[in-house]
Amino acid sequence: MRVGVLTGGGDCPGLNAVIRAVVRKGERDFGYEMVGILDGWSGLLDDRIMTLTVEECRGLLPRGGTIIGTSRYQPFMYDDGMARVRANLERNAIDALIVIGGEGTLSAASRVHEEGIPLVGVPKTIDNDVGGTERTFGFDTAVQIATDAIDRLHTTAESHNRVMVVEVMGRHVGHIATWAGMAGGATVTLVPEEPFDIDEVCDALTRRHGRGRYASIVVVAEGALPKKGTIEVQEPPVDQYGHKRLGGICNVVASEIEARTGFETRVTVLGHVQRGGTPTSLDRVLSTWFGVAAMEAVHDGKYGSMVAFRGGEVVTVPLADAVGSLNYTSPELLRTARTFFA
């Protein structure tokens, strides 16, 4: 049997660890041949693949990014997309696919599977927003990077009596903002799940500073939005894949804070730093567990499924269920975080 692996969407720490695990399990335990499809679905559309052996995957466990490349291209962007996918699978004698991606890549995987292609999904994203799984790999690393940054911002904020507004990733959900905000002792955290009221944010900062504290950290998820009718926010531009390019809400929040409170305010956008570099040990383990489970699912013919982390175990769930909904931040955790605001 010959199994193809592809990584789609934004990269994320732990992708290489999944590839390594898939190859190790497939080659050593099942005697399969493994190939990497280059640059996500795009490599399957244009017939670009590479062989993947245990030898070639040495040293991958701690390495960030993805050695097979990634993109946001999908077969359904083209009228002849599925025909090209079928032809290239046949030309390369690929019997099954392991598709590692976030909501966009996995939605495409679900449709490709409905077209009769045998595949298994693996959820990835630093945002941790994929439905059907409690956790995606990459999230823990991103939270650690954001927490380290917040720790550093505390000392400079205190030295200058400033408000520091830190923007983290999270287009639909506020997992990174909430976890890093709690871990870093944020004064206020703003998430996409709950539109914010800038007056409440400024009141919280004024209360805190009135108690003799002159520095604050405000953590903002890139997808956070103000309550309707409060402040104006521009529609973000859209990239070549039709994907909204977020980033910059922190500038709006910071200028409103400075104008309304008079506190000197600075912004930090963590951006792609959160996706780069080596995965944490937790993400290495989850990636490895997902990779082995995905290969086992292929071996067992569990096509149309996705590996998922639920209740402390890795299980398989139907891909269709996983892509139908998002994994939002727990309202209970958001309530707990609020105990420490201001």
Q: Which parts of this chain interact with ligand F6P (CB under 6 A)?
A: 9-10, 102, 125-127, 169-171, 222, 243, 246, 275
Least distance in Å: CB of 160 to ligand F6P? 29
Neighbours of 133 (CB within 10 A): 23
Least distance in Å: CB of 59 to ligand F6P? 24
Beta carbon nearer to ligand F6P, 124 or 208: 124
Q: Angle of helix 175-183 relative to helix 139-160, nearest 10 degrees?
A: 50
Asked if 268 and 164 count as a contact pair (C-beta separation under 8 A), the reply is yes
Element (H, E) at 282: helix 281-299
Beta carbon nearer to ligand F6P, 99 or 126: 126
Q: Assign residue 331 a region (left: φ > 0; alpha: ψ between -120 and 50; beta: otherwise).
A: alpha
Alpha carbon distance 244, 104 (integer Å): 12
What radius of gyration, in Å, describes the C-alpha atoms of the chain?
22
Q: Find where tokens 């692996």 sit.
A: 5
Beta carbon nearer to ligand F6P, 3 or 253: 253
Q: Is 79 a catalytic residue?
A: no
Asked if 69 and 78 count as a contact pair (C-beta separation under 8 A), the reply is no
Beta carbon nearer to ligand F6P, 105 or 187: 105
| Residue nearest ligand F6P (C-beta atom) | 10
Beta carbon nearer to ligand F6P, 73 or 263: 73
Would you report the helix, strand and coil content of the chain in percent, each value rounded to 5?
40, 20, 40
Closest CA to 329 of 224, 184, 208, 197: 224
Beta carbon nearer to ligand F6P, 272 or 310: 272
Closest CA to 304 of 125, 135, 111, 89: 111
Q: Which residues, listed in sequence order, are joined to residue 166 by a DSSP beta bridge?
A: 219, 268
Least distance in Å: CB of 305 to ligand F6P? 22
Least distance in Å: CB of 252 to ligand F6P? 17
Q: Please give the torsion angle defined by the CA atoms of residues 149, 123, 21 and 39, in that order, rounded to the nearest 10 degrees.
A: -90
Least distance in Å: CB of 57 to ligand F6P? 23
Neighbours of 286 (CB within 10 A): 25
**Catalytic residue (choose from 127, 129, 140, 283):** 127
Least distance in Å: CB of 232 to ligand F6P? 21
Beta carbon nearer to ligand F6P, 36 or 174: 174
Structure tokens at 220: 């903002």
Least distance in Å: CB of 101 to ligand F6P? 9
Q: How far is CA 175 from CA 5, 73, 171, 243, in A?
A: 28, 26, 10, 20
Q: What residues act catalytically?
A: 127
